[in-house]
Amino acid sequence: MPKGYSEYNQGGWRHTEEAKQKVRMARLGTTMLEEVRSRLRGPRGPYHSEEFKQQLSARMTGTGNPMYGKPNTPEMKAKISAALKGRFAGDKNPMFGRNGANHPNWKGGIAYLPYAPEFTKELRERIRQRDGYRCQECGISQSELTCPLSPHHIDYDKRNSSEYNLISLCEICHGKTNYSRAYWQRHFEEKIATIYMPKGES
């Protein structure tokens, strides 16, 4: 039986109102500098900067993830599948019906615009070769993937197929760039600058 449970207390331990009041009184009068408070709490609760989020994401990618190399067993996958089955089906999905202009990532239909004629198979392969066949965000090798790296348009303009506007990303990292576009554009502009920086400069 889990700790804190008994045949008389099936819901686990509960603080009495008296105990709760003591905790409140013990914390009464404690203060926090407004500067610290503003860093920890945004208008909607705890807030982390985009830079911090990306650093955290990088630390938890690949071998940094505690679950790296530990795939779920078939039994565990079956349990997860059963627990989630139907949970987000139909109108239970928070994104149900939010397609096209109703979707929060809608950018005016630019996904349907054609790529520039210059965005050829040969150009895409040249970009992958330039980047050493590694994702320029997480560092995973193309040989470890089930599909080729995707040359990402840094400024999100499909008509701009300059090699200075293309960078190799794996499928997962490429998917991340659909959010916080201003951050990612600035982030990859800085990376591409280092790629083409003359040797000896830093």
Per residue in 79-96, pLDDT (tens digit) is: 888 888 877 777 777 777
**What is the distance between the alpha carbons of residues 173 and 139, in angstroms, rounded to a whole number?**
10
Q: Which helix (H) or strand (E) holds 194?
A: helix 181-195
Per residue in 13-53, pLDDT (tens digit) is: 677 888 888 777 776 655 555 555 565 555 555 567 788 88
Q: Residue 173: is it exposed, middle or buried by C-beta count within 10 angstroms (0-12/13-18/19+)?
A: buried
- Residues 6 or more apart whose CB falls under 8 angstroms from that of 195 comprise 130, 131
Instruction: Give me the half-sphere count of Cα atoms (radius 13 Å) on the Cβ side of residue 70.
Output: 7
Query: What is the per-residue pLDDT for 136?
Result: 94
Share of the chain above pLDDT 70, in %: 72
pTM over 0.75: no
- Average pLDDT in the chain: 79
Per residue in 140-172, pLDDT (tens digit) is: 999 999 999 999 999 999 889 999 999 999 999
